[in-house]
């Protein structure tokens, strides 16, 4: 392992670059309605989603991750990365992890690289772990990627959860820096509750299935979600985690410029902002264009908001998510001056 050059005393992780990539194929609500029993109106009014990007043949998650990672590295102006952390629910294979292949594709062969599995909270878990690598001196630059080919685990006949998800990838580069710098990662509030494992799941493909006493059903090979319960848990945990993160940052709700939440459902986002007494217009909304992209959702929304100018240098932002596990998390940070394509 390459020994990073870390100047003494600089141990906070600071965002210094960001990038994103969406597969070119776009599927609208109307196209879905043409082949299954759903409608643009149902999808839009229930979730706010209008379209999503879908991978094409020969485009596994590592492809999306490498595209986003390369763009983040270019944005940061770095070619040397000490570690790569990839958050995904849809690895190329169950074994090995996808991160080493992504590192290899990016010319980072030899660097430590590993996957983080926390579904929609994955990017926040990955940020926390990456910040820890920098804090411990194990790395001076870490590439953190959230990437999903979620369409590959959706049952094509599933007209409820199936229409919600999309594919894509986003990434940030973290460098060693000081805690008061714009872009510095502070406290990352994280949590889990394994009793909720059935809320968001793909049952088959692992050791549970292989050691199962009761035979599993064909539908177990696909993603399933209990939407109503997820809605309630998501609103409560995202709100609570965000308030804790605000507390650590020493900010009041009124001082938050933008909430960049996991883009699961517009109605969840509205409920969270209402519960936090933050005006709705401070929510970054990206799901209308890309759907729910699970672990890629937050970095995609960051890149999108930066490109439209909605996310400005110095903006006080909250990142928050709730996902399968169940897992949840939030962090507060000030957005740095970076260049995003």
* Active-site residue set: 120, 262, 292
User: In the bound complex, what is the minimum distance in angstroms from residue 46's beta carbon to other proteins?
Assistant: 6
Cα 171 from chain centre = 9
Cα distance between residue 130 and residue 324, in whole Å:
21
Q: Which is nearer to other proteins, 130 or 271 (CB)?
A: 271
- Which residues sit opposite 320 in a β-bridge? 261, 330
User: In the bound complex, what is the minimum distance in angstroms from residue 272's beta carbon to other proteins?
Assistant: 9
Q: Which is nearer to other proteins, 176 or 271 (CB)?
A: 271
Cα distance between residue 306 and residue 294, in whole Å:
20
Q: Which is nearer to other proteins, 232 or 313 (CB)?
A: 232
Q: Which is nearer to other proteins, 105 or 275 (CB)?
A: 275
For the chain, the first-to-last Cα distance in angstroms comes to 31
User: In the bound complex, what is the minimum distance in angstroms from residue 3's beta carbon to other proteins?
Assistant: 50
Q: What residues line the site for other proteins (CB under 8 A)?
A: 46, 227-229, 231-232, 235, 267, 270-271, 274-275
Contacts of 128 (CB under 8 A, 6+ apart): 185, 188, 190, 329, 331
User: In the bound complex, what is the minimum distance in angstroms from residue 265's beta carbon to other proteins?
Assistant: 8
Q: Which is nearer to other proteins, 66 or 163 (CB)?
A: 163
DSSP-derived letter for residue 4 is P
User: In the bound complex, what is the minimum distance in angstroms from residue 118's beta carbon to other proteins?
Assistant: 24
Q: Look up residue 305 and give its two tokens.
A: 């908001």
Pairing between β-strand 51-54 and β-strand 25-28 as defined by DSSP bridges:
antiparallel
Contacts of 115 (CB under 8 A, 6+ apart): 86, 87, 88, 91, 97, 98, 99
Element (H, E) at 273: helix 266-275
């Amino acid at each position: 392992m390459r020994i990073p050059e870390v100047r003494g005393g600089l141990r906070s992780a600071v965002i210094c670059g960001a990038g994103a990539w969406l597969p070119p194929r776009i599927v609208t609500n109307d196209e879905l309605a043409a082949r299954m029993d759903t409608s643009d109106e149902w999808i839009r009014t229930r979730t706010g989603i209008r379209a999503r990007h879908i991978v094409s043949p020969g485009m596994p998650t590592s492809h999306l991750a490498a595209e986003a990672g390369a763009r983040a590295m270019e944005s940061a102006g770095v070619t040397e990365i000490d570690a790569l952390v990839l958050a995904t629910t849809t690895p190329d294979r169950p074994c090995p992890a996808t991160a080493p292949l992504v590192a290899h594709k990016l010319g980072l062969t030899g660097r430590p690289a590993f996957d983080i599995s926390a579904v929609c909270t994955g990017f926040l878990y990955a940020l926390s772990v990456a910040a820890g690598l920098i804090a411990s001196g194990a790395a001076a630059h870490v590439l953190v990627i959230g990437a999903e080919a979620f369409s590959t685990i959706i049952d094509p006949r599933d007209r409820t959860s199936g229409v919600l998800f999309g594919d894509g990838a986003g990434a940030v580069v973290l460098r060693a820096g000081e805690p008061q710098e714009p872009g510095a990662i502070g406290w990352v509030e994280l949590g889990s509750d394994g009793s909720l494992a059935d809320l968001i799941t793909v049952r088959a493909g692992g050791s549970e299935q292989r050691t199962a006493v009761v035979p599993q059903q064909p539908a177990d090979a696909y993603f399933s979600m209990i939407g109503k319960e997820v809605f309630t848990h998501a609103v409560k945990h995202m709100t609570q985690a965000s308030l804790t993160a605000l507390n650590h940052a020493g900010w009041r709700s009124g001082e938050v410029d933008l909430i960049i939440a996991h883009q699961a459902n517009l109605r969840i986002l509205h409920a969270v902002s209402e519960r936090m007494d933050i005006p709705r217009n401070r929510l970054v909304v990206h799901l209308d264009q890309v759907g729910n992209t699970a672990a890629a959702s937050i970095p995609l929304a960051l890149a999108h908001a930066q490109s439209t100018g909605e996310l400005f240098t110095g903006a006080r932002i909250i990142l928050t998510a709730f996902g399968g596990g169940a897992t949840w998390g939030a962090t507060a940070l000030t957005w740095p001056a970076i260049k995003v394509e």
